Amino acid sequence: MADTVTQILTQAKAIAAATLGTGWNELPYVLDVSKNDERRAKQGYGVRPLPANEAPSVTNSYALDHGFELVLMGSVAKPDDESQAMTLIGTLYDKQDEIFKSMARAKLNLPGTVLLVSQPALSEPEILASGKLIALRQQFNVRYRQAI
């Protein structure tokens, strides 16, 4: 299973990077996004695993519904300018949608293992660093199967 989770993380990050394009960088801190500085979080992304639960499967295999979280971060030039923040928030939501669709269509480029990418859920945007940074988290489910 550990190898499968690593592959899912690698592919999720690769799809995010390809969808976001140039100028976006992987965040050094995904577990605690408040540790990211303005320079690194200006256009940043990261993926982390969440809990997993048993899912229905067939004989000689087991399946898991495994949660993952995609974090996108951006910065605003003027923290007091709410219109800049709202524009960035809209952009982050749009990017999250594009990335999820790409991951779901491609089954994270792991079609022999990943059965389904589903259940996107977006949290409320987080305002960090005195309003200079905004983080948006999207949780999604990956159902994958492993032979016993």
Q: What count of other Cβ atoms lies within 10 Å of the Cβ of residue 86?
A: 13
Q: For residue 125, what are the domain limits? A: 2-147
Residue 14 tokens, joined: 């690769």
Q: Going along the chain, which residue ranges are E strands?
A: 25-26, 43-55, 61-75, 114-122, 126-128, 133-147
Across the range 83-91, mean pLDDT stands at 95
Q: Residues 40-79: pLDDT tens digits?
A: 899 999 999 999 999 888 778 889 999 999 999 999 988 8
pLDDT one-digit tens code per residue, 21-36? 999 999 999 999 999 9
What is the sign, positive or negative, of the torsion defined by CA atoms of 123, 127, 132, 133?
Answer: negative
The answer on pLDDT for 1 being more than 80 is: no
pLDDT digits (tens, 9 = 90+) for 96-147: 999 999 999 999 999 989 999 999 999 999 999 888 999 999 999 999 998 8
Number of independent structural domains in the chain: 1
CATH number for 70: 3.30.2000.30
Q: Which residues is 144 bridged to in the sheet?
A: 64, 114
**pLDDT value of residue 118:** 97
Please state whether 105 falls in left (phi above 0), alpha (psi between -120 and 50) or beta.
alpha
